[in-house]
Chain A
Amino acid sequence: MTNVLDTQGVSKKFSGIMAVHDLSISVDAGESVGLIGPNGAGKTTFFNCVLGVLRVNAGVVRLAGDDVTEMPVHARARRGIGRTFQRIELFAESTVREHLLIAERTRRRDGGLWKDLIGRGRPRADEIAKCDEVLELLGLRDVADEPIEHLSLGQGRLVEVGRALMTDPKLLLLDEPTSGLDRQETADLAITLRAVQEHRQFAILLVEHDVEFVSSFTQRSYVLDFGQLIASGPTQDVLRDPQVRAAYLGVEEISS
């Protein structure tokens, strides 16, 4: 089985501080992998290195076997990395469906100035049908024509997922998807995500603080501390690792 994502010795320095040091991870097609660690462990930095928001100081990032280390964000996105944001990033003054439409257009690289000018830039029936299919999957069908200002935070996050799905990602990076959500919303999100993943077959790399969410959602996890990998393996085992408990959960035992 080929790795969807494969990083080799990725390092990132910020004015002398090693935010990520020599990190090598891999994600297989279709699996869900967690990336956990205490605040400031370098999770977000690593995320940004994978996405292309930050350039690595050393190391290689491979997407489905291709070296993308030097590529800008949008080029990597076209090669199959989708993402959601910790602090929701939606397009102001667009409806839910419009978010998906523009992603679909971008994926197909269909349309441009000339097509717009001759009047073929308007959304077509097949595009709308494709968007609605995804909206149905995410349970957003009812709010398809709502401007995103009217959505709840949980719905907003699902719109982000839907938008990313329209690009046909091989790998979806979720940046703390539960942040700001209450218990019920978190549970709903987990159910929806799992259903969608089963349906569309993509891998997930998840940065998350909510231990319950991580352990229920992922098969494997990597644990970072001070920019270094301190543990990896099946999530349940990793969370039981004393070193991980010391670094991430605090030294004291947690009853659960």
Chain B
Amino acid sequence: MTLAATLGSDLLRALLQGTPPGTVYALIALGFVLTYKTSGVFNLAFGAQASISAAMYYKAHTDWRWPILPALIVSVFVLAPGVGLLLERLVFRHLRTASSVAKIVVTLGLSIAVPSIFELVFQFQGVAGRTPEGIVPNGAGVYYDPFGVYPFSRNELMTMAVAVTAMLGLAALFKFSALGLQMRAVVESPRMTELNGIRADRVSALSWALSSSFAGMAGVLIAPRFNTLAAPDFFNLVVVAIAAAVLGKLVSLPRALVGGFCLGWIIALLGTFLPRWSRTQTWLRPFQENLTPSVPFLVLFGVLVFWPAIRRAREASDPLSGVDPPPSSVGSGARGASRPRFSRVIGLALLVGIGVIVFIRADTSWIFLVTQAVVMSTIYLSVTVITGLAGQISLCQGTFAAIGGFTVFQLADRHGVSVLLAAVIGAVIAAAVGAVLSLPVLRLGGVWTAVATLAFAYLFDSVLVKISWICGGGTSLLQGTRVPRPVVGPWDFADDRSFLVLTVIVFIVVAFAVTQIRSGTVGRTLSAISGSEVAAESIGISPARARVTAFAVSAFIAGLGGALLSIHQRNVNYGSNFSPFAALFWLVLVVSLGARTVQGAAQAGAAFSLFDTLILRGTFMGWILRSSKRIPEIFPINPKWRFVFFGLGTIQFARHPEGLVEHGKRQMRRRVDALRKRRTGSGGSIDDASPVSTPQPSSEPSNETDTAVVPVGETTR
């Protein structure tokens, strides 16, 4: 056979091979764009929605031995749209005026909470070894080969058939029904549509149901390909969807469709041809080995970096988008040192007291947990900087932390550098990576910062981790990434108690630095930018420069914390500590509890490591009842509940960006003030007396917002 003929048949084979996944990607991209355009929600929980349908199908078909059709109907046509409707009605309808960044945080929380709720309700475990089945009997075993170059499995054929039918159905709905017309109108401009007497709410609810079924269908179809039912793996799907949608410029459904197909083909083409090139170009190997996971991230990252015009896609779409009242800003310096000094002293004394008791009385496992809590609190301070101060959502904090951990492993284990020095070097490297990464990300801002950092995190996860000089490569798989404990002069930190002291010192130093930055020039500058970027620029602030600083500082802290965590565990443990999905939970935890204060970070750290043992296993209850035997029956509670609690906790973030704890405190303070006022008889509170009401993000824009209130935050430009 001649070379040309081989090339031709290879090409054809790659295209045929890429088509079935391409149709699924297209399906996901369609659903994603549909929600994004009808409700303005950049739905990162899309993968979670796909995963629960896939899990439901597995549960019904494999566990309960239902026939295929009813299992499919329940999972794709009942559960999926139901979840979509619920999310729209209970969550996103009330967040319509929230900023896009706040909405994205809520979807992150949901992508952690939703699969956990499902698993709790149906007692489902998405562990490895439970191979999902397709929607035709014997789908992976029977092949058809229509062109003589690539045999399609029955699963693949069915996938294409179902996906294409769904797409045609959507097209028909849009083209021929009144509802489709309304939906198209809402896509153009929800406000304009409402002014024409169509209830955008209802249309948006419907499109949520529709897109959710698309997600569900994609989940069921792709599960056999993925060979997994674990929620984190499905989270990748949303990145694939965004990549496909971005290829389609995020504005039109047909283009998203084409983008999905292109992605499928690109992956298959590279899968066919890369192995040949990498024979001579060895640096291509890591890419070749992890192709399917890495291509979407490469594409997405590339597009975001080289084509920043993409971010204007939505802003330009709704001519009436300026009508909405401005959303409250996400990040800001926490003001209000009005807390009385004595309550602060009491709090501190209590903390020190507990610390001393832990230090003296606790056994090894408690010391371990407390140390972990302190280290995690340090890492969470990096979220305080980037989200609390700069108002940016970074989803690659885990990657920065991993860079710190791996640096310590490389330098200390392989080159014999002192461990603490290696930790600092790791933090510096992380800071440098953060600064460089922020350069392209800066021009994007808002939702796109989140997406670009997510793409980077997955790029690191799927490609860079496998490179020897970064993360150890082949040998580390067998030996683990060993990290020694430091010895400084007379102190040997191999002892857990002394290491706890070290971590507490590091936490205090970092926390002090963060408060200094917050009250200093950098903090004020960042607070000004997140308050109003145009106004900040108008007084000569360069937002780009300020954000590079914020990213670098945040990455430094994360790197330092990651190094400490690895030293603590004596191993980097990348998969369980720093994977993108694990890092998602960090962000969710911190923003639910309070992203703006050191206290919030500390509480998040404590919640991460102690919530399960202390609360859910009933230990705390046992202490109150003074007997471990009298702990009520409901304990131990399934640890998944914490994903549910904190995942759903993000919903309030959109309304009260200061976090649960801080919000609770403010409410309490307000009530105490009111009570005190009533006692002294001076009448209503200050808020009642002031001429203008505070701008509260409300679901219904009220008339007074237009005239009286000083609007705060960004307007449309």
Contacts and interface: CB of A to CB of B under 8 A. Distances in A.
Interface stretch (A28-36, A143-151, A208-216): A143-151
Interface residues of B, number: 47
B535 A122 contact: no
Contact of B712 (A53, A121, A149): A149
B328 A92 contact: yes
A41 interface: no
A56 to B, nearest CB: 17
Interface in A55-73: 72-73
Contacts of A74: 537, 540-543
Nearest to A169: B539
Contact of A53 (B335, B523, B553, B717): B717
Contacts of B270: none
Given A105-B524, A106-B525, A151-B692, A77 B539 contact: yes
B513 A167 contact: no
Interface in A209-229: none
A156 B541 contact: no
A180 B516 CA distance: 39
Contact of A85 (B333, B535, B541, B690): B535
Interface in B510-540: 513, 516-517, 519-525, 527-528, 530-532, 534-540
B694 A77 contact: no
Contacts of A1: none
A72 to B, nearest CB: 8
B531 A73 contact: no
Nearest to B534: A89
A115 B520 contact: yes
A92 B539 contact: no
Interface string A76-117: 011000110101111111110010011101110011110111
Contact of A122 (B520, B528, B531, B539): B520
B332 interface: yes
A89 B522 CA distance: 20
A152 B691 contact: yes
A122 B335 contact: no
A149 B333 CA distance: 15
Interface residues of A, number: 52
Contacts of B692: 149-153
Pick from B517, B540, B711 the residue with the most CB of A within 10 Å: B540
A16 interface: no
B528 A102 contact: yes
B521 A116 contact: yes
Contacts of B522: 111-113, 116, 121
Nearest to A107: B540
A116 B537 contact: no
Interface of B: 328-329, 332-333, 335, 513, 516-517, 519-525, 527-528, 530-532, 534-543, 549, 553, 686, 690-692, 694-695, 707-708, 710-715, 717
Given A92-B712, A111-B522, A150-B690, 15 more contacts: A74-B540, A88-B710, A89-B714, A90-B532, A91-B536, A92-B713, A103-B539, A111-B521, A116-B516, A116-B522, A152-B692, A153-B707, A163-B535, A167-B539, A167-B540
